[in-house]
Amino acid sequence: MASPNPQRELTLRGLVLGALITIIFTASNVYLGLRIGLTFASSIPAAVISMAVLRLLGGGTLLENNMVQSQASAAGTLSCVFATFPGLIIAGFWTHFPFWQTAGLSFAGGIMGVLFTIPLRRALVTQSSLPYPEGVAAAEILRAGANRENQHGLQALISGSILATVFSFCSGGLRLLSDGLSLTATVGSAVFQVSGAFSPALIGAGYLVGLSGGVAMLIGCILAWGIGVPWLTGILPNPLHLAPTLFAQDVWLHKVRFVGAGAIAVASLWTLIELMPPVLRGIRSMLQRTTGVVATTDQDLSARTMGALLLLSAVLLAGFFAAFLAPVASGIAPVVAAAVLFCIVFGFIMAAACGYMAGIVGSSSSPISGIIIIGAVLCALMILALQALGLAPNAMAADGQKLATAFTILLLSAITATIAISNDNLQDLKTGQLVGATPWKQEVALIAGCLVGAAVIPPVLNLLYQAYGFTGAMPRPGMDPSHALSAPQPALITLIAKGIFTHSLDWSMLGAGMALGIGLVGADLLARCRGFALPPLGVAVGLYLPASVSLTLAGGAILGWVLKRIIHNRQKQLATTAQAGGAENTTGTMLASGFIVGESLTGVLLAVLSGATGRDNAFSIAAYLPAGLPNILGTVLFAALCWTFARKTLRPS
């Protein structure tokens, strides 16, 4: 029989604190996503802020802190809908973001994301050996804050955070250090390029991911930049006469990245097939009535509650889909019903795939954009099928399929909320498992986070659009287009949807990626026969993500493997595991967690300051530095940072 947990866990003050953190993180992530197409996972910084505030208030517990970070991270992750909703303005269908439609679809999709994580929790967390780098890091932070006796681990966490904070501010804020290094070479007309990011967080994430995931991403990066980009730049024309570096980036963005998206589609499907047995066991155990007492650390929301929430989500989705179509079309019932069913079925499939990817590379590096691209293609094909069957209103095909394109983006926004929440929530549930949290209470906090985040997103989107505009879609005449937010993902999604409906999309790259994905699955099966593993999804992710991310994360994984081998050899020489084991399991993990904490907090702070000042370079001193100096300083100091990480990890605790 499980003993009751005496610690405070789900509290009113925790929910209020989580809501306040939510507002900051949601606004920051929406701005950052529209500006550069990237966001920060908010789980770790939320845990740090929660510990500091609750310690000041007094009586804060480890589990209460965990609830706050779960709520805040859910809302911060829900901001990923920035990748789709602005497409409705870029496509010329909306002129602003209606509050109820934007918030309602975000909330309904978020609830589904939470519900889908419940059976997936058993398959991907409880019964899985996936590393969950950010979930483990958040748990280490919470433990270090709660256990004041763990001074060595706490010191390692703090020192890693300080090092990463200083480095990240000098890089992203002052621009004293470059944020990466890129080398380009040409052989004839073929362009070869190697890029690396000077990111402490990626080094820390690579250390926590381990060698298998890191090597898989490295292979994907080699396929993209060692084969794909050189081959395509060698055979494709360059009508704009772009410089080799820009031409290579353009080919990767518009060609090779679609190969990665196709490979992700096949690898995701294969991953789901492999995960099906534990997922079904999780669903079966969730639905079974238990006569005995279930441990508090394994209690999810009841099946009845889940059914009611799923019904609520479906009703909300149907209502908002109908409200979108009804003013401009009639006979919309088949389209609405198909859209809701698509959200549920495709949402669950992609939730499993995204959760698996987050378990390998972390939420920040999980390629949700690739999944959204797949979703855009399938959404558009579904609507085309309904049109072919005569089940879609004629108004959807009018004016160059404008309404069909807009509805695809709207439907995709709800799915984006679902997969984004599933992607991040499994990290939170992993943290909860490690610190002994009650799952159902954590799931309640996650739903609360979705509610607050959904309420914050529409006014933030409207504020940013009216202040800056989007590239190619300005709210008022006379605005400076150079200050417009680039909104890269919404622009790409709109381009794909229009391309499918107007039959102008190039399918060759997606098809090549799917063929490659089948080959990767076969290679993994052969590798397993020889006692190795080559995760096809990891390779596909390496293809899709920028080379700077893949290479640096792989470097962190290889560095971690080398350090662990050295420690293992010390164990043999000293014939004792206590001394070396502490260095490996405590110091290295805490330093890696500190790297992620420092860069995440700095990124959030810089995003807030950018939003407040209206400039993303308000603190830059790059104009006063000699050309090339930031590259030299960045390279030297990043190498010194990695050397410091290795030295501290190898030092006996």
pLDDT (tens digit per residue) in 232-277: 999 999 888 889 988 998 898 888 888 887 887 787 777 667 766 6
633's tokens: 């300083």
Instruction: Tell me the β-bridge partners of 195.
Output: 182
Helix (H, G, I), strand (E, B) or coil at 506: coil
Mean pLDDT of the chain: 80
Q: Could you give the number of structural domains in the chain?
A: 1
Element (H, E) at 180: strand 180-187
* Those residues with Cβ within 8 angstroms of residue 224's Cβ, 6 or more apart along the chain or in another chain: 252, 256, 259, 260, 542, 543, 547
* Residue 616: predicted pLDDT: 62
Helix (H, G, I), strand (E, B) or coil at 19: helix
Q: Is residue 296 part of a domain?
A: no
* Residue 584: predicted pLDDT: 41
**Largest CA-CA distance found in the chain, in angstroms, rounded:** 78
Instruction: Tell me the β-bridge partners of 181.
Output: 196
* Residue 615: predicted pLDDT: 67
* Residue 150: predicted pLDDT: 52
* Residue 577: predicted pLDDT: 46
* Residue 623: predicted pLDDT: 83
Instruction: Tell me the β-bridge partners of 184.
Output: 193
Under the banding of pLDDT at 50, 70 and 90, the label for residue 578 is very low
Does 320 score more than 50 pLDDT?
yes
Q: Is residue 134 part of a domain?
A: yes
Does 228 score more than 90 pLDDT?
yes
* Angstrom distance (rounded) from CA 567 to CA 556: 16
Q: Is residue 571 part of a domain?
A: yes
Select the more confidently predicted residue: 5 or 422. 422
3-state secondary structure 116-139: HHHHHHHHHHHCCCCCCHHHHHHH
* Residue 276: predicted pLDDT: 66
Q: Report the percentage of the chain scoring pLDDT > 90.
A: 19
Which of 78-82, 110-114, 192-196 has the least mean pLDDT? Answer: 78-82
Q: Which residues of 380-403 are buried (b: 16+ CB within 10 A; e: fewer)?
A: bebbbebbeeebbbebbbeeebbb
pLDDT tens column, 501-527: 888 777 888 889 889 989 998 988 888
Q: On the CB side of 251, how many CA atoms lie within 13 Å of its CA?
A: 29
* Angstrom distance (rounded) from CA 154 to CA 140: 9
The CA distances from residue 25 to 73, 174, 277, 318, in Å, are 8, 22, 36, 29
What is the 8-class DSSP label of residue 626?
Answer: P
Does 638 score more than 70 pLDDT?
yes
Burial of 528 (0-12, 13-18, 19+ CB in 10 A): exposed
Does 439 score more than 60 pLDDT?
yes
Helix crossing, 398-435 with 488-501: angle to 10°?
130
In degrees rounded to 5, what are phi and psi of residue 252? Answer: -65, -45
Does 311 score more than 90 pLDDT?
yes
* Residue 321: predicted pLDDT: 93
Q: Report the percentage of the chain scoring pLDDT > 70.
A: 83
In degrees rounded to 5, what are phi and psi of residue 60? Answer: -70, 140
Angle at 87 between CA 24 and CA 89, to 5 degrees: 90
* Residue 4: predicted pLDDT: 42
* Residue 58: predicted pLDDT: 76
Helix crossing, 43-57 with 62-78: angle to 10°?
140
Instruction: Tell me the β-bridge partners of 473.
Output: 470
Name which of 648, 632, 526, 640 is nearest 594 in CA terms: 648
pLDDT tens column, 119-169: 777 777 776 667 777 777 778 777 776 665 455 666 777 888 899 999 989
pTM of this prediction exceeds 0.85: no
Tell me which residue range forms the domain holding 199.
12-237+245-285+304-650
591's tokens: 């330093």
Select the more confidently predicted residue: 601 or 622. 622
Burial of 651 (0-12, 13-18, 19+ CB in 10 A): exposed
Element (H, E) at 184: strand 180-187
The CA distances from residue 118 to 123, 131, 201, 299, 628, in Å, are 9, 19, 28, 10, 51
Under the banding of pLDDT at 50, 70 and 90, the label for residue 289 is very low
Q: Is residue 5 part of a domain?
A: no
Q: What is the mean pLDDT of the segment spanning 11-38?
A: 74
Q: Is residue 7 part of a domain?
A: no
Q: Is residue 6 part of a domain?
A: no
pLDDT tens column, 326-372: 888 888 899 999 999 999 988 888 777 777 767 765 555 555 666 77
Q: On the CB side of 30, how many CA atoms lie within 13 Å of its CA?
A: 27
Does 590 score more than 90 pLDDT?
no
* Those residues with Cβ within 8 angstroms of residue 596's Cβ, 6 or more apart along the chain or in another chain: 44, 133, 134, 137, 164, 200, 201, 204, 205
Q: Which amino acid is at 632?
A: I
Does 290 score more than 60 pLDDT?
no
* Angstrom distance (rounded) from CA 73 to CA 141: 15
In degrees rounded to 5, what are phi and psi of residue 241? Answer: 55, 45
* Angstrom distance (rounded) from CA 569 to CA 420: 41
Residue with token string 């901001």: 79
Residue with token string 């780098």: 133
In degrees rounded to 5, what are phi and psi of residue 193? Answer: -145, 135
Q: Is residue 635 part of a domain?
A: yes
* Angstrom distance (rounded) from CA 28 to CA 39: 8
Select the more confidently predicted residue: 135 or 585. 135
Q: Is residue 2 part of a domain?
A: no
* Residue 568: predicted pLDDT: 79
Angle at 25 between CA 20 and CA 31, to 5 degrees: 135
